């Protein structure tokens, strides 16, 4: 999966010269927590920075809720977005594997990245989009089984499952290699055929089954 499959294309943006009050209003009205700050040029939107709800909160007086104030029109600040935005934000590209922005967000402790192609803003991907992407990988149809079992390092997992599943007429829906407490594991989704017998076959093949989830 790549970023282009999960990013939001209709991005709410703001100019650097706008007030933080305007930024708070945009966030409140569009239910977003971050806004790419852009330079509007003839060829499109160029990313100058990003402003988050946290940046707005820190710029407001401590007793004022920016979103509530923006909705009621009870407070106005002349502080501009330029003064509080993060310059040169981390970005990603539409063709990037989905795990790349996920790793960047985790390492940098940020909740979203502008998506840039040929220096132009084309979308935004947030932690919610990442969650949806990875949840889709593990989504299973009713009647299927998801089995997590330990594997050896550099083991041919595809070969193992093909050898075990084919005689049982079990269909492999997806397979993911991961780690559990620093131990390599395989997470496989299976459907049809003799699932219980295949589970026994996995145990008998010398692989410890960590978890079995039956989807009803």
**Residues paired with residue 52 on neighbouring β-strands, in sequence order:** 34
Q: What's residue 186's pLDDT? A: 93
Angle, helices 195-204 vs 157-165, to 10°: value is: 130
Residues 69, 130: one domain? yes
CA-wise closest residue to 214 among 146, 159, 162: 146
Residue 124 pLDDT class (50, 70, 90 cuts): very high
CATH number at residue 208: 3.30.70.260
Q: What is the pLDDT of residue 15?
A: 98
More confident residue, 27 or 63: 27
Judgement on whether residues 83 and 109 belong to the same structural domain of the protein: yes
Q: Are residues 177 and 206 in the same domain?
A: yes
Question: Domain of 126: which CATH number?
Answer: 3.10.580.10
CA dist., res. 89 & res. 201, Å (int) = 50
Per-state percent for the chain, helix, strand, coil, to nearest 5: 35, 35, 35
Both 115 and 203 in one domain: the answer is no
CA dihedral angle for residue 119, residue 121, residue 127, residue 130, rounded to 10 degrees: -80
- Sequence-ordered list of residues with C-beta below 8 angstroms from that of 130, at least 6 positions apart, any chain: 6, 98, 101, 102, 105
Last residue within a domain, chosen from 110, 134, 158: 134
Q: Give the rounded percent of residues in the chain with a pLDDT score beyond 90.
A: 80
Mark whether 7 and 80 lie in a shared domain: yes
Q: Do 48 and 97 fall within a single domain? A: yes
Q: What is the CA radius of gyration of the chain?
A: 24
Question: What pLDDT was estimated at residue 178?
Answer: 86
127 and 165, same structural domain? Answer: no
Instruction: Give the distance, in angstroms, between the CA of residue 107 and the centroid of all CA atoms in the same chain.
Output: 13
Number of domains the chain is built from: 2
In this predicted model, what pLDDT tens digit does every residue of 79-97 receive, in sequence order? Answer: 999 999 999 999 999 999 9
One domain, residues 107 and 166: no
Last residue of one domain, picked from the residues 134, 162, 183: 134
Distance CA 80, CA 130 (A): 31
Q: Is 123 helix (H, G, I), strand (E, B) or coil?
A: strand
> Confidence band (pLDDT; 50, 70, 90) for 16?
very high
Same domain, residue pair 152 and 85: no
Give the contacts of 205 (CB within 8 A, at least 6 positions apart). Answer: 160, 164
The 10s digit of each residue's pLDDT in 17-59 is 999 999 999 999 999 999 999 999 999 999 999 999 999 999 9
Domain that holds residue 161: 140-214
Check whether residue 114 and residue 99 sit in a common domain: yes
Same domain, yes or no: 12 and 58: yes
Q: Are residues 82 and 40 part of one domain?
A: yes
Q: What is the mean pLDDT of residues 100-115?
A: 96
* Distance from C-alpha of 162 to C-alpha of 182, rounded to nearest angstrom: 25
Domain boundary among 90, 105, 134: 134
- pLDDT for 21 equals 94
pLDDT at 67: 83
- Tell me the per-residue pLDDT of 67-77, one tens digit each, with 9 for 90 and over: 887 777 878 88
- The pLDDT of residue 153 is 87
Q: What is the pLDDT of residues 127-173, one digit of tens each?
A: 999 999 988 887 888 989 999 999 998 899 999 999 999 999 999 99
């Amino acid at each position: 999966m790549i970023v282009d499959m999960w990013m939001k294309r209709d991005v709410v943006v703001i100019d650097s010269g706008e007030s933080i009050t305007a930024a708070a209003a945009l966030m409140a009205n569009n239910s977003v927590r971050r806004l790419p700050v852009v330079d509007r040029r003839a060829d499109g939107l160029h990313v100058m920075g990003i402003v988050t709800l946290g940046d707005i909160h820190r710029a407001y007086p401590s007793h004022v809720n920016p979103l509530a104030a923006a909705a009621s029109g009870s407070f106005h600040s002349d502080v501009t977005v330029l003064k509080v935005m993060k310059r040169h934000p981390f970005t990603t590209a539409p063709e990037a594997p989905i795990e790349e922005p996920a790793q960047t967000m985790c390492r940098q402790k940020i909740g979203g990245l502008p998506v840039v192609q040929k220096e132009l803003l084309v979308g935004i991907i947030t932690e919610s989009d990442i969650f949806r992407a990875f949840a889709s990988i593990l989504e299973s149809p009713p009647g299927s089984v998801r089995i997590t079992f330990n594997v050896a390092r550099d083991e041919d997992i595809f070969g193992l499952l093909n050898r075990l599943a084919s005689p049982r007429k079990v269909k492999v829906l997806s397979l993911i290699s991961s780690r559990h407490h620093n131990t390599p594991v395989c997470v496989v989704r299976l459907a049809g055929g003799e699932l219980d017998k295949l589970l026994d076959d996995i145990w008998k093949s010398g692989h410890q089954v960590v978890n079995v989830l039956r989807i009803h």
